[in-house]
Structure 1
Amino acid sequence: MGETEGTPLMRQYRDIKQAYRDAILFFRVGDFYEMFQEDAVEASKLLSIALTSRDKSSDTPIPLCGVPYHAATSYIAKLLRAGRTVALCEQVEDPKLAKGLVRREVVRLYTPGTLIDSEFLPAAESNILVAVATRLRTGGPDNKGYAIGLATLEVSTGDFWLSEFHGPRAETALLDELARLEPKELLFAEGPPSDEHQWMNGLTGLRCCAQPAAWFDLDAGRLRLQEHLRVHSLDAFGCHNLTLGIQAGAAVLRYVRETQPTASLDHIRQVRVRHQHDAMHLDSVTIRNLELVRSTSRTDESSGQSSTTLLGVLDRTVTAMGSRLLREWLLRPLIACAPIEARLTAVAELHRHLDTRVRLRSALRPVQDISRLCSRMSLGVANPRDVLALKLSLSSLPAIHAELSELKAPLLIDLTASWDNATDLYELIEQAIVPEAPVSVRDGGILKDGYHPDVDELRKASREGKGWIASLETKERARTGIESLKVRYNQVFGYYLEITKANLGKVPPDYIRKQTLVNAERFMTAELKELEERVTGADTKLTALEQQLFEQLRTELAAQTARLQEIGQRLAILDVLAALAETAAQHRYVRPSVDTGPVLHIVQGRHPVVERLTLSDGFVPNDTHLDLQTSRLHIITGPNMAGKSTYLRQVALITLMAQMGSFVPATEARIGLVDRIFTRVGASDNLAAGQSTFMVEMTESAHILNCATARSLILLDEVGRGTSTYDGLSIAWAIAEFIQAPSRLGARTLFATHYHEMTQLEGLREGITNYSVAVQERNGHVLFLRKIIPGGADRSYGIHVAQLAGLPEVVIHRAKAVLAQLESTTSSQAPIRETQQALQFDSTLPAPHPMLEEVRQMDLFSMTPLDALNRLAALQQRLLQEE
């Protein structure tokens, strides 16, 4: 061991680092956070700072780098973005009072899921930490199923939720929930790899951390939660039947306590249980395909814009709390008429009263992030500027209440019931904190004159002392005759008299030499020393007293956390309702009618995102009428680039918007409640999972057929295109029949396809209707009218689209010739027609082929959908071979 490694400081460093081996340790030394050894090597690269060494003369110098303590925040943020955690080690005693080595402790561990500092948190997004507890269960038809518990904690606001998922689809439900939450960090119990953790293989970009299995113990965990929440039973929070959810909840709470050892967690006042049937279940595929919160466009993602997402169009909130709540409403639409109507009625009233809406939004605009501010109070990290931000927010409450007093919507009345203007808290801050308070309590100058007599006295002594020192300079110039004599100050030497070398002969004998410079000498006198002690003593005492009184004020505000959280929640709801009304007014949205009926009826519907884009011909609206009884499945045909996918998505988005409580882009909309929305659109592979484009397509299709109900809305776009024509047609045909059959599924469905043969289903199956995209041909040119009209299309105009894409003319001419030849070969159509009839499995039709009896005897619907499709595809191949 080198000499440097054996110093007391380095021994202290190694002892602390041992407990935080996976983090970069910011080790406070004076005015710097220093990093040593492997931390220094890594941090110097990630932070682009110089790498040096400690004791360069040693045979084994220790790598060293450092950052100023007052600028540490930006460096920590950079390390977090690089996926690292940071342990902040502070000097926990005054170096002037320390006997020997200054005592140091880690006071914060910065991890992606436990951030509370506004500098690290995006205002409009939640910063979620989750824990997952799993248990492999036996039983059921496949003798295998999972039980999974999920705990969700937003440390910066105190929102704490528990959930459980059971059965063979528990993994899928968990992954869908994680897609909605977009957590920053996930905890699970450490142990040998097992089938219970296979679901983690699909997670990308998420920090997954194994924690001690003991943290997930049920009995100990229940006691830990009860102790923290100060209750004798968790039943009061609706946790009656939870086990794994409690285990996950205890683990996530323990993790926060371990990573924030000096922080109080009193802002986590309650735990709520989230059930799967509380809201519409949107799976990860649907969230992605509908571009609800993230754009699938790489260009849009890299620019950080959200204008091409539904959230980007709807988000006209004026507070950070409102923006986060709007995202929550968007990803969890309601599935009960009463709360939907309550939201719509509130939006309608704010929509009608323009002046009130404008004044309300103006009053909300100064409101800061109360949810996070009160959490920072409770955690003991709020600074004077945070307290002033809270005061500014509270100052808006009377004006907000005044605007709501005349409104009659029941939800708005509920929000104003027992309204709290928090005048006492506003006055408390107003009397204490100066309007221009610094960020750090160490800087002093926080409290107003007159707030505390001791502060006033020390402040007076400091001011008078500095005045005395200033007058001393004049006095000494007159006494010595040295006109250039100056009284100066620095942190190392304190106050001193500086005299140039040319005037040293005039220095009085009572001057005490303090420091020699190249061109001057610095001196001290007994009088200056006495004044210095008086001034610096007053400043030190004043700073310490202000810090103490500020912490007392912060503690008083922290005691009001529950009250402030309630205020923040009400303001967030008001902000979202007013924003939805504002969006409706600006974009000509109408109030939808939502009921439990079988009809989904939209007149002149528009895609809320696409219509905001710059379109040369403007946006073409379309009607939709889906009825569970008469027209539940629409076969939509037409050329590429004609707007089929846009149409499908706009129906889903209008339905989702209505059930979240928003007005919709249409002239009329009646929405029969939808329990889930499923989408199978686009073509993509999953190379990480070894799945081809077609396999992904079939997996997603199987998921829909296995999970949808008659109340679901299904969007299918080009199913079966990833394989051969006959295979694809067979699969698409069978899926359509499975969905339309009331005895099997009978869900409202939009099925876009290029298999024009499927239009024959309209005359063969009840509940199926053909629609197509209108196309106009003129002088050899094709014009896509983007209008959905009754009837099927008989052409795809693919060659025309290829021409628009810029394929060479020689290729286009050859393609037209080949197409003409294929269309003239009538014999090639026979197998397809025969197969279509065979796939009807209807015994009342004449048998077009001897193999039909085999089809009739197949009980396809007793199989899983994917097995049935495989059987039909095999039969299709045999038919083709015989032909």
Structure 2
Amino acid sequence: MAAQDSSLSPMMDQYLRMKQGLPEDVWLFFRLGDFYEMFFEDAVEASAVLGLTLTKRHTVPMCGVPFHSVEGYIGQAVKAGKRVAIAEQKGTPVPGKLVERELVQVVSAGTLADLALLNEAEHNYIVAVFREKSAWGLACVDHTTGEFSVAEFGSQEALAEEVSRVAPRELLVSDEQRDSFPLLRPTLFYDGYAFLPGAAVPVLEAHFQVHSLEGFGCAGLRAALGAAGAVLHYLKHQLRRSTEHLRKLALRPTEGVVLIDAASQRNLDLVDARGGAKFSLLGALDGTSSPMGARKLRDWVLHPVADVDVLRGRQDAVERFLGEPFLMSKLRDSLKGVRDLERLSSKLAQGAGNARDLMALGCSLGQVPAVEADLYVLAEGCPKLGDLCGRLGDFAGLVELLAGALADEPPVTIKEGGMIRDGYSAELDELRLASRDGKAWLAEMEARERAATGIDSLKIRFNNVFGYYIEVTRANYAKVPEHYHRKQTLANAERFVTEELKRMEGTILGADERSRQLEYELFCALREEVKGFLDAIQVSADALAEADVLLAFAESAQRHGYCRPELDCSRNLSIVNGRHPVIEQVQQGVPFVPNDSLMDEEGNRVLILTGPNMAGKSTYIRQVALIVLMAQIGSFVPAESARIGVVDRIFCRVGASDDLARGQSTFMVEMSETAMILNNATERSLVILDEIGRGTATFDGLSIAWAVAEHLHDELGSRTLFATHYHELVDLVHTHPAVSNWHVEVREWKDEIVFLRKVLPGPADKSYGIQVARLAGMPESIVSRAKEILTHLEMSSTRREPKARKRQKPGMPVAREAEVTQLELLWDEEE
């Protein structure tokens, strides 16, 4: 950046003073008339990123974007990882005088206001984290909806898992705690003093205008409040954003929530999938009609609950919808007319938005009575729907006000007029009449002057420089009357004014200018009116979102033949003819083969699943996890029937991947994820493991897989589905009472295999690896050679007797030695 010196113009000096007060990653959009200009390094960078033409003024690099399309360029800049500061002109420019400018806001990834640039199905969170002794605090703000929530965790691992579920656009960490969060990837290190609870609590109390935060239920959460104070300080002071719409501080639920770590979330394809959104569970379930409903569904999928009463309430609502298909259809039509109330109301409450946003808000609120009427009918005997119905506010007065005030098709701009309907303001109507009458008078004057002068081509015109004038071609100059005063000479015409035209110009232009100003004032008053309804709108929007999700559950159940699962607090799981909720929807023309699942505390707590590759082992074990998850968000499930003892956590370790950025190999990632499961699973957890130990040497991998299975059975007691190619693991059934063997059935015919996709009791007889290699297109010469090698290995292999080891589970009666021996994977040296 060029240093300030006396050779700089006053305007450039003004620019540099603003720029020097900003962080290095912020581009300054400097308003110059109809453009936002950038200079120096900002211009060089922005021209490359935004595809702008780079020019120079007195050797200073510069580029710019039109003011009317600035939002799109801001979106591109933010997507490229930049923040954008907006410097606006204050007042009307006066020739020869420096225009005063003000830095009005900084736009960041977490504060984009243009709804067209936001993913309407996802929250747009800014998150701050802070450690206070042994507590790990989290604060989340969605500036676009007004949501503000906090939570505390007992470990960094638990905090990191919640951050991964929240998926923030910006992550703030205190610059004094740079090295305290190795599991997170901050986007910004922010002023440490803003995080200190002693400074943060007064900031929060002042913002919410309370004497204590006890009313929010978080007064003792010092780490969380430190994070909350910091994120509020960041919004107000660095980004210069309005925070008036942040009206309450909520506690994020940490108790009774089914925790799903980042790896399990990814392995189960909950909200994202490699093939696209439709291959995720969220994509399969998302039949919502509103953006609020889509975001609510995403939250539920990432935060299932373990409270049986809450889940049964949601199930009752789904069942009630299914019993009234006509009302269900009618309610869906009403919800389709509801726009994004959360983001619209928050945007308007911040003093942003235009008349079209006001109209969208009014039309959306106009749908609430119809939704309420339908829910009222359905709420009989269903407390959940009664609760939703009771949370819908009365907005009749606001809807009537907006409908009566706004024009049918208001413009995008807010200072050029055309927003307010005729008849709303008597003063505005008078000004518009004066303007219209004046323009009619001009047309009459033009006709009169043509007749008086005999100049048929005479015209009365207007421009911003000269105002209204009479234009006469050079050929008719001799006919111009003496009372015409020359205004301007052109190549082929002369322009004149008269005293009469001057007087009328003052009347017309005065009326136009005052009319536009009055319209803007009336619009601002309407926008201010919305603030008084903000709390009620946000509560209603949340109720509408829940209704939307529950209705989507009902429609999925109706369309795909889902059943209502029975839920209890046991450790049993019984699924009859279960199906994979995603695969059955995306596969074309191929019926999905359903399968049963049975797990209990006695003989079926750890299921060892064997079978060849491509047979469907991974699909089956994930299917069970997804059915359990669907049941614990309140959805019906893809099965003929299901009884599910609710789980506290779902773990899923499948596939092979590496993390080169952190220097971790595929096997290291596998072991890290497996260790995390073993360190956090409980007897109420559901554990899904696929091919543990395959990333290392055979005996090492088999040893690890065996030890993991034993630990899950003996120490943790978790319900476990363990898919493996290590056929040796099937022998666990002889020594571990809660282990059972299952396999995916295949048929062999003329050295070919047919996948039946059916899961049955008992172990698989072999792996069929060579047949699968042939199906994958392996050259026939390699297939033949592999058979020869396999035959040789099978003939030459010898089975050594393993050592016996006693295994006694606490609380079980003492068994005979023959019943407790098991395979030992390490042999005596003398053998």
TM-score by length of 1: 0.90
Quote the offset at 1:826 in angstroms: 3.6
Secondary structure in 2 matching 1:449: coil
- For 1:104, the equivalent position in structure 2 comes to 101
Pairing 1:506–2:502 present: no
Tell me whether 446-455 or 241-250 shows the greater mean CA deviation: 446-455
Quote the offset at 1:616 in angstroms: 5.5
Q: Relative to 1, partners in 2 of residues 1:733 and 1:226: Cα closer, same or farther, differing over 3 Å?
A: same
- Give per-residue Cα distances to partners, 1:487-509, cap 9 Å, x unaligned: 22222332222222222222223
Contact kept, 8 Å, 1:40 with 1:63, in 2: the verdict is yes
Pairing 1:147–2:135 present: yes
Contact kept, 8 Å, 1:676 with 1:712, in 2: the verdict is yes
Matching of residues 442-841 of structure 1 within 5 Å: 442-615=415-588, 617-741=590-714, 744-827=715-798, 829-830=799-800, 834=802, 837=804
Give the residue type in structure 2 aligned to 1:70: H
- For 1:367, the equivalent position in structure 2 comes to 338
Secondary structure in 2 matching 1:441: coil
Which of 142, 147, 150 is the equivalent residue of 1:159? 147
Quote the offset at 1:526 in angstroms: 2.1
Pairing 1:69–2:54 present: no
- For 2:258, the equivalent position in structure 1 comes to 280
Quote the offset at 1:437 in angstroms: 1.2
Which of 211, 219, 224 is the equivalent residue of 1:245? 224
Q: Distance in 2 between matches of 1:66 and 1:311?
A: 41
Q: Distance in 2 between matches of 1:674 and 1:197?
A: 29
- Give per-residue Cα distances to partners, 1:654-711, cap 9 Å, x unaligned: 0000010000000001010100000111011111221111111111111111100000
Q: Distance in 2 between matches of 1:185 and 1:224?
A: 21
Secondary structure in 1 matching 2:574: strand
- For 2:215, the equivalent position in structure 1 comes to 236
Which of 38, 41, 48 is the equivalent residue of 1:38? 41
Contact kept, 8 Å, 2:71 with 2:114, in 1: the verdict is no
- Give per-residue Cα distances to partners, 1:115-162, cap 9 Å, x unaligned: 232132111111000011124x5xxxxxxxx53111000001111111
Give the residue type in structure 1 aligned to 2:181: H
Contact kept, 8 Å, 2:391 with 2:543, in 1: the verdict is no
- Give per-residue Cα distances to partners, 1:336-376, cap 9 Å, x unaligned: 10000000110111122111100000011110111111111
Quote the offset at 1:276 in angstroms: 2.2
Q: Relative to 1, partners in 2 of residues 1:880 and 1:453: Cα closer, same or farther, differing over 3 Å?
A: farther
Contact kept, 8 Å, 2:86 with 2:103, in 1: the verdict is yes
Q: Distance in 1 between matches of 2:738 and 2:583?
A: 30
Contact kept, 8 Å, 1:733 with 1:839, in 2: the verdict is no
Pairing 1:265–2:243 present: yes
Matching of residues 311-326 of structure 1 within 5 Å: 311-326=282-297
- For 1:16, the equivalent position in structure 2 comes to 18
- For 2:277, the equivalent position in structure 1 comes to 306
Q: Relative to 1, partners in 2 of residues 1:672 and 1:3: Cα closer, same or farther, differing over 3 Å?
A: closer
Matching of residues 378-457 of structure 1 within 5 Å: 378-407=349-378, 408=380, 409-417=382-390, 419-457=392-430
- For 1:93, the equivalent position in structure 2 comes to 91
Q: Distance in 1 between matches of 2:55 and 2:443?
A: 42
Q: Relative to 1, partners in 2 of residues 1:418 and 1:308: Cα closer, same or farther, differing over 3 Å?
A: closer
- Count residues with an aligned counterpart: 821
Contact kept, 8 Å, 1:635 with 1:752, in 2: the verdict is yes
Contact kept, 8 Å, 2:267 with 2:652, in 1: the verdict is yes
Q: Distance in 1 between matches of 2:465 and 2:163?
A: 54
- For 1:256, the equivalent position in structure 2 comes to 235
Q: Distance in 1 between matches of 2:392 and 2:339?
A: 18
Q: Distance in 1 between matches of 2:6 and 2:49?
A: 26
Q: Distance in 2 between matches of 1:590 and 1:618?
A: 18
Contact kept, 8 Å, 1:5 with 1:11, in 2: the verdict is no
Tell me whether 502-511 or 805-814 shows the greater mean CA deviation: 502-511
Give the residue type in structure 2 aligned to 1:163: A
Tell me whether 704-713 or 348-357 shows the greater mean CA deviation: 348-357
Q: Relative to 1, partners in 2 of residues 1:578 and 1:151: Cα closer, same or farther, differing over 3 Å?
A: same
Q: Distance in 2 between matches of 1:67 and 1:512?
A: 41
- For 2:82, the equivalent position in structure 1 comes to 84
Contact kept, 8 Å, 2:391 with 2:540, in 1: the verdict is no
Secondary structure in 1 matching 2:65: strand
Give the residue type in structure 2 aligned to 1:174: L
Percent of aligned pairs sharing the same letter: 46
Q: Distance in 2 between matches of 1:114 and 1:369?
A: 16
Secondary structure in 1 matching 2:176: coil
Q: Distance in 1 between matches of 2:49 and 2:486?
A: 47
Please list every run of 5 or more consecutive structure 2 residues that lacks an aligned counterpart in the other structure: none
Quote the offset at 1:766 in angstroms: 0.7
- Give per-residue Cα distances to partners, 1:135-193, cap 9 Å, x unaligned: 4x5xxxxxxxx531110000011111111112xxx221122111111100011111375
- Give per-residue Cα distances to partners, 1:368-427, cap 9 Å, x unaligned: 111111111210002100110011111111211221222121100111126433101111
Q: Distance in 2 between matches of 1:349 and 1:616?
A: 32
Q: Distance in 1 between matches of 2:178 and 2:345?
A: 41
- For 2:173, the equivalent position in structure 1 comes to 188
Q: Distance in 2 between matches of 1:376 and 1:602?
A: 46
Secondary structure in 1 matching 2:656: coil
Q: Relative to 1, partners in 2 of residues 1:2 and 1:637: Cα closer, same or farther, differing over 3 Å?
A: closer
- Give per-residue Cα distances to partners, 1:751-789, cap 9 Å, x unaligned: 000011111111111100000000111222210101000
Q: Distance in 2 between matches of 1:524 and 1:123?
A: 55
Q: Relative to 1, partners in 2 of residues 1:3 and 1:493: Cα closer, same or farther, differing over 3 Å?
A: farther
- Give per-residue Cα distances to partners, 1:48-77, cap 9 Å, x unaligned: 12111113xxxxx11111111111111111
Give the residue type in structure 2 aligned to 1:14: L
Which of 176, 183, 207 is the equivalent residue of 1:199? 183
Quote the offset at 1:265 in angstroms: 2.0
Q: Distance in 2 between matches of 1:278 and 1:503?
A: 89
- For 1:142, the equivalent position in structure 2 comes to none
Quote the offset at 1:3 in angstroms: 9.4
Secondary structure in 1 matching 2:496: strand
CA RMSD in angstroms comes to 2.2
Quote the offset at 1:110 in angstroms: 0.6
Quote the offset at 1:804 in angstroms: 1.0
Give the residue type in structure 1 aligned to 2:802: E
Q: Distance in 2 between matches of 1:413 and 1:476?
A: 73
Secondary structure in 2 matching 1:276: coil
Secondary structure in 1 matching 2:422: coil
Pairing 1:118–2:96 present: no
Which of 198, 205, 225 is the equivalent residue of 1:226? 205
Q: Distance in 1 between matches of 2:465 and 2:5?
A: 28
Quote the offset at 1:517 in angstroms: 2.7
Give the residue type in structure 1 aligned to 2:17: D
Q: Distance in 1 between matches of 2:418 and 2:830?
A: 93
- For 2:125, the equivalent position in structure 1 comes to 128
Q: Relative to 1, partners in 2 of residues 1:5 and 1:439: Cα closer, same or farther, differing over 3 Å?
A: farther
- Give per-residue Cα distances to partners, 1:506-531, cap 9 Å, x unaligned: 22233233333332222222222222
